Amino acid sequence: MGELGICEVGGDGVVGNFLGLGIGLSQIGEMIPSDLQAMNFPGLASFEEDDHGMIRLAITSPKANAQIYLHGAHIVHFQPIGVAPVLFLSEESGFVSGQAIRGGIPICFPWFGGREGYPESPAHGFARTMDWEVESLSVDGDQAILVILKLESNEATRAEWPHEFVVRCHVFVGMWLVMLLEVENTGESEMTFEEALHTYFAVEDVREVLVRGLENAGYRDKTDGLASKMQGADPLRFTGETDRIFENTAAKCEIEDGVTGRRITVNKSGSLTTVVWNPWIEKAQKMKDFGDEEWRRMVCVETANAGVNAVTIGPGQKHSIRVVISPGPSPSP
Ligand code: BG6
């Protein structure tokens, strides 16, 4: 059994059958490297090239459809069969090397927001703008898909951050989306990092949305010079730009869309920070890769470890953060 509770099955047999049908790999995708083509499970999970020349894993299983880019290990689409898409993706997003995709689930690592003391460093770290490797792709008996992507320290990461690491992102696509980010310190000194699964949820109208689970929690307000504040006893509602870093909270959150009645649960472990963000009108207008009106259709509820919850691990140690996203009832993480 794999770490997420599914059996790991190699792709060779399926590819063998596929080849047995007399279809040559060169016809599957001209630009997809042969090692990735060999991992495909035709009809369920295949690597493909998008219109911008970027490689993504397209999942079309009996459980859900999903798309995951190697660029940033970035999930841009998750839609269990029979329900509306769970993630928001901006129509203005660039799909360009070196730039983060706007929407879906960017991975922030090894820092969250601006890097303290390094104003020239990229916001939210470098993980979301780098190409990740595919370590494995597997299918369980229930036809849920597990893909593991990997980012290792290299010359480019060392130029930004002087640490040796391996980060693995496990993505499980079934009726629920499970994402596990495991950071391993492969160097010889301690390392401290921040991280976030910066999830953009699709909603009909953010003004009709409630986020439950953060009642009476403390937060730092990024719209007010990081002032320390307390959330009241009521669920969080949106009436203007919202950018709150809730610290020391392991709570499960529920996003209730008042227009559709849908309730998405965000159930996490290994994370003590939850960030809630909506840019509202003015900030949306200033963002080049975001439509002026798109603020209405999204809300970010981010599973993170940031600020006082930054993580320190010694040589050889690992730390994992996990989230289970469900448009209906979900299992415990
Ligand atoms: C949120 C931050 O997590 O991400 C916001 O709290 C920020 O302050 C937002 O504006 C988007 O960041 P970026 O770098 O993707 O534009």
pLDDT 10s digits, 36-65: 999 999 999 999 999 999 999 999 999 999
Distance CA 115, CA 93 (A): 23
Mean pLDDT of 124-139: 98
Instruction: For the beta carbon of residue 323, count every other beta carbon within 10 angstroms.
Output: 25
Instruction: Identify the residue with better confidence: 2 or 197.
Output: 197
- With tokens 């016809």, the residue in question is 27
CA 222 to ligand 1: nearest atom: 8
pLDDT confidence of residue 237: 98
Instruction: Identify the residue with better confidence: 18 or 308.
Output: 308
Candidates 200, 277, 294: which one to mutate for ligand 1, based on the most atoms within 8 Å of Cβ? 277
Q: Give 159-191 pLDDT, tens digit per residue.
A: 999 999 999 999 999 999 999 999 999 999 999
Tell me the Ramachandran region of residue 318: left when phi exceeds 0, alpha when psi lies from -120 to 50, beta otherwise: beta
Domain borders along the chain are 5-204+280-326
* Dihedral sign, Cα of residue 157, residue 158, residue 161, residue 167: positive
Question: CATH number for the 5-204+280-326 domain, one of 2.70.98.10, 3.40.50.300, 3.40.190.10, 3.30.460.10?
Answer: 2.70.98.10
| 77 included as an active-site residue | no
Ligand 1 lining (C-beta closer than 6 Å): 100, 113, 123-124, 198, 222, 243, 275, 277, 302
Residue of 182, 198, 247, 294 with catalytic role? 198
Mean of all residue pLDDT scores within the chain: 91
Decide if pLDDT at 221 tops 80.
yes
| 188 included as an active-site residue | no
Instruction: Indicate the burial class of 276 (C-beta count within 10 angstroms; 0-12, 13-18, 19 or more).
Output: buried
Secondary structure letter of residue 27 according to DSSP? G
Q: How far is the CA of 133 from the centre of ligand 1 (A)?
A: 25
Helix (H) or strand (E) holding 169: strand 165-173
CA 196 to ligand 1: nearest atom: 3
CA 100 to ligand 1: nearest atom: 15
pLDDT confidence of residue 7: 34
Percent of the chain with pLDDT strictly greater than 90 = 88
Q: Give 10-42 pLDDT, tens digit per residue.
A: 333 333 233 333 334 444 446 899 999 999 999
Mean pLDDT of 107-113: 98
